[in-house]
Structure 1
Amino acid sequence: MSSAFGRPTDLKSGGKLLFGLAALLLAWRFWVVPQLGITLYVDEAQYWTWAQHLDWGYFSKPPGVAALIWLSTALFGDGLLGVKALAMLCYPLAAAACWAIARRLYDQRIAFWAALTVLTLPMFGWLGLFVSTDALLTLFWVLALWAYLRALDSDAWADWLLLGGVCGLGLLSKYTMAVWLGAAFLHLLAGHRPRLASAKPWLAAGLALLILTPNIYWNFTHDFPTLKHTADITLNKKAAGGLAPLAEFWAAQWISFGPIVGSVFFILLAQARQSWRDDRTRLLLWFALPLWLVVSAQALKGGANANWAAPAFAPAAIAAVAWLVQRKKQRLLLIALAINLLLVGVVYHWPSLLAAADVQNPAKKTPFNRAMGWDELGRQLTPIIAAHPDSVLIADNRTLLAHMLYELRDLKPAAASWNPSGAASDHYKLTTDLRPWLGKDALLITEDPPGADFASRFASVEPLAVLQAPLDAQTTRDMKVYLLRDFKGY
Structure 2
Amino acid sequence: MSAAVDGGIVDRFGARLLAGLALLLLAWRVWLLPQLGITLYVDEAQYWTWAENLDWGYYSKPPGIAALIWVSTRLFGDGLIGVKALAILCYPLAAAACWAIAARLYDRRTAFWSALAVLTLPIFSWLGLFVSTDALLTLCWTLALWAWLRALDTDRWRDWLLVGAVCGLGLLSKYTMAAFLGAAFLHLVVFHHRRLASAKPWAAALLALALLGPNLAWNVAHDFPTLKHTADITLQKHAAGGPGALGEFWAAQWLSFGPVLGSVFVVLLLRVRSSWRDANTRLLLWFALPLWAVVSLQAARSGANANWAAPAFAPAAIAAVAWLLARGRQRLLVVGITLNLLLVGIAYHWPAIIAAVDLKNPAKMNPYARAMGWDELGRQLAPIVRAHPDAVLVADNRTLLAHMLYELRDLNPRYASWNPKGEASDHYKLTSDLRDWIGQDALLITQTAPGAELLGRFAGADKLGELRAPLDSTTARRMEVYLLRGFKGY
CA shift, 1:367, in A, is 0.7
Deviations 1:91-134 (A, max 9, x none): 00000000000000000000000000000000001000000000
Indicate the residue corresponding to 1:294 in structure 2.
294
CA shift, 1:331, in A, is 1.1
Q: Which AA in structure 2 matches 1:381?
A: L
Using structure 1 for the length normalisation, give the TM-score: 0.99
State yes or no: 1:99 paired with 2:122.
no
State the SS of the aligned residue for 1:9: helix
CA shift, 1:236, in A, is 2.8
Indicate the residue corresponding to 1:260 in structure 2.
260
Q: Which AA in structure 1 matches 2:481?
A: V
CA shift, 1:238, in A, is 2.1
Indicate the residue corresponding to 1:422 in structure 2.
422
- Give the ranges of 4+ consecutive aligned residues of structure 1 lying more than 4 Å apart after TM superposition: 2-5
In 2, Cα distance between equivalents of 1:247 and 1:10: 39
In 2, Cα distance between equivalents of 1:8 and 1:148: 29
State yes or no: 1:164 paired with 2:164.
yes
Contact 1:57 1:63 in 2 (8 A): yes
State the SS of the aligned residue for 1:479: strand
Indicate the residue corresponding to 2:77 in structure 1.
77
Indicate the residue corresponding to 2:191 in structure 1.
191
State the SS of the aligned residue for 2:472: coil
Q: Which AA in structure 1 matches 2:87?
A: A
State the SS of the aligned residue for 1:474: coil
Deviations 1:390-436 (A, max 9, x none): 00000000000000000000000000000010010000000001111
The within-5 A match list for 1:423-462 is: 423-462=423-462
Structure 2 unmatched ranges of 5 or more: none
In 2, Cα distance between equivalents of 1:357 and 1:79: 31
In 2, Cα distance between equivalents of 1:418 and 1:12: 62
CA shift, 1:156, in A, is 0.2
CA separation of 1:311 and 1:333: change in aligned 2, threshold 3 A: same
CA shift, 1:5, in A, is 6.7
State the SS of the aligned residue for 2:175: coil
Contact 1:98 1:315 in 2 (8 A): yes
Indicate the residue corresponding to 1:130 in structure 2.
130
Indicate the residue corresponding to 2:309 in structure 1.
309
Indicate the residue corresponding to 2:109 in structure 1.
109
Contact 1:5 1:330 in 2 (8 A): no
Q: Which AA in structure 1 matches 2:472?
A: D
State yes or no: 1:175 paired with 2:175.
yes
In 2, Cα distance between equivalents of 1:4 and 1:139: 32
Indicate the residue corresponding to 1:412 in structure 2.
412
In 1, Cα distance between equivalents of 2:7 and 2:434: 68
In 1, Cα distance between equivalents of 2:342 and 2:4: 21
Higher mean alpha-carbon deviation, 350-359 vs 109-118, is at: 350-359
In 2, Cα distance between equivalents of 1:57 and 1:176: 15
In 2, Cα distance between equivalents of 1:247 and 1:283: 26
CA shift, 1:8, in A, is 1.2
Indicate the residue corresponding to 1:14 in structure 2.
14
State the SS of the aligned residue for 2:463: strand
CA separation of 1:396 and 1:4: change in aligned 2, threshold 3 A: farther
State the SS of the aligned residue for 1:8: helix
State the SS of the aligned residue for 2:419: coil
State yes or no: 1:215 paired with 2:215.
yes
Deviations 1:261-314 (A, max 9, x none): 000001000001110000000000000000000000000001100000000000
In 2, Cα distance between equivalents of 1:237 and 1:352: 40
Indicate the residue corresponding to 1:337 in structure 2.
337
In 2, Cα distance between equivalents of 1:455 and 1:316: 56
In 1, Cα distance between equivalents of 2:4 and 2:354: 36
Deviations 1:33-59 (A, max 9, x none): 110010000000000000000000000
State the SS of the aligned residue for 1:176: helix
CA shift, 1:463, in A, is 0.8
Deviations 1:240-272 (A, max 9, x none): 111000000000000000010000001000001
Deviations 1:57-94 (A, max 9, x none): 00000000000000000000000000000000000000
State the SS of the aligned residue for 1:73: helix
In 2, Cα distance between equivalents of 1:410 and 1:40: 16
In 2, Cα distance between equivalents of 1:277 and 1:43: 43
Indicate the residue corresponding to 1:247 in structure 2.
247
CA shift, 1:452, in A, is 2.0
Contact 1:396 1:445 in 2 (8 A): yes
In 1, Cα distance between equivalents of 2:237 and 2:173: 22
Contact 2:289 2:312 in 1 (8 A): yes
In 2, Cα distance between equivalents of 1:104 and 1:39: 41
Contact 1:164 1:204 in 2 (8 A): yes
Structure 1 unmatched ranges of 5 or more: none
Higher mean alpha-carbon deviation, 12-21 vs 342-351, is at: 12-21
In 1, Cα distance between equivalents of 2:292 and 2:260: 19
Tell me the number of residue pairs that the alignment of Structure 1 and Structure 2 aligns.
Answer: 489
Indicate the residue corresponding to 2:391 in structure 1.
391
In 1, Cα distance between equivalents of 2:207 and 2:119: 31
Percent of aligned positions that are identical: 73
The within-5 A match list for 1:461-472 is: 461-472=461-472
Higher mean alpha-carbon deviation, 329-338 vs 230-239, is at: 230-239
State yes or no: 1:367 paired with 2:361.
no
Using structure 2 for the length normalisation, give the TM-score: 0.99
CA separation of 1:7 and 1:236: change in aligned 2, threshold 3 A: closer
CA shift, 1:345, in A, is 0.3
Contact 1:101 1:146 in 2 (8 A): yes
Indicate the residue corresponding to 1:68 in structure 2.
68
Contact 1:3 1:14 in 2 (8 A): no
Contact 1:454 1:461 in 2 (8 A): no
In 2, Cα distance between equivalents of 1:473 and 1:292: 42
